[in-house]
Amino acid sequence: MGQEAGRDWAARWAKRIGENLAALRKERGVSARELSERCEGLGYPIPRSTIANIESGRKRELPVQELAVLAAALNLAPLALLYDSEHMQPVLPNKERTLGEALLWFSGEWLLREDEVAPDYDAWIRLDPSLIAPSNSQDGGIEARRGVAAAERQLGHRVAMRDLARQALHDRDASLDPDGGSSMYRHPSRSGADRQAWEAELDIREAHVASAARVLNAAREWARERGITVEAVPESIRPDYERYGHADA
């Protein structure tokens, strides 16, 4: 059963890549022959027949080298071939994620299994005792500062994820503008009806930023109440900390 699901997932992904390649190639007015010549010019020849097999779905396996060269030949990021504009993406067999999460995962900004291992954000506000040692510990000050540093890293990560999702939405809108420039995640123009889902995704990311800012505020207050001096909040996360946490930075 598991192997069958895996084969089906692999076949559907190969088909989606082929459809994306065909649509993006035609959108740019590039023939299969010309695309093949561009690939050869980049130093990695891909025959016209191979391109035809990819686009038709007959080629079920696509080496990462071919993916990279085809994307470069069309002046695209490889991600544009991997995913389409649907809100939910089958990133693994029996595992779907939103398009925003899929993009974040593939670009290294998010761990796919994060939701299965990371604690609930609001639960961090209660400050797990393992995060910050009791004040009567000899190393209490060190551990408190480590806890603040961990909360700062968490907020920084959430801000980066939010910003990337915001950029993806911007690029998605640009890809629907026939007069717009090239987009990192450019896809063939669709109806645009999925924008509400994209906005909902961005709202979720914003909520995660707010939650992480509250966690950082709680960690800093915990330290201050025990007479422990902490450094100023880093400039990169200060605006979001002041907006959602507390203006003590």
Contact predicate 84/24, CB 8 Å: no
pLDDT score for 75: 87
One-letter amino acid for residue 213 of the chain? A
Architecture of the domain delimited by 2-82: Orthogonal Bundle (1.10)
CA distance 129 to 118: 16
The contacts of residue 56 (CB under 8 Å, 6+ apart) are 18
Strand partners, 95: 92
pLDDT score for 132: 41
Per domain, the residue ranges of the chain are 2-82, 114-244
pLDDT score for 183: 46
pLDDT score for 26: 92
CA distance 127 to 54: 51
pLDDT in tens, the chain (249 residues): 568 888 888 888 999 999 999 998 998 899 999 999 999 999 999 999 999 999 998 888 889 999 999 999 998 888 888 887 666 788 888 888 777 667 767 766 555 544 433 334 334 334 443 444 444 444 557 777 888 888 888 899 889 888 887 887 777 676 665 554 444 444 444 445 566 667 777 888 888 888 888 888 888 888 888 888 888 999 999 999 999 876 555
CA distance 108 to 15: 24
Per-residue buried b or exposed e for 227-242, using 16+ beta carbons within 10 Å of the residue's own CB: ebebeebeeebeebbe
Helix, strand counts (H, E) of the chain: 10, 2
Q: What are 95-101's contacts with CB under 8 Å, separation 24+?
A: 98/197, 98/201, 99/168, 99/198, 99/201, 100/165, 100/168, 100/169, 100/198, 100/201, 100/202, 100/205, 101/201
CA distance 209 to 194: 23
Say what the pTM is: 0.52
Residue 172 to residues 154, 195, 205, Cα–Cα distance (Å): 27, 9, 17
User: Where does residue 108 fall: left (phi above 0), alpha (psi -120 to 50 degrees), or beta otherwise?
Assistant: left
Contact predicate 240/213, CB 8 Å: yes
Residue written as token pair 């420039």:
181
CA distance 196 to 202: 10
Contact predicate 210/128, CB 8 Å: no
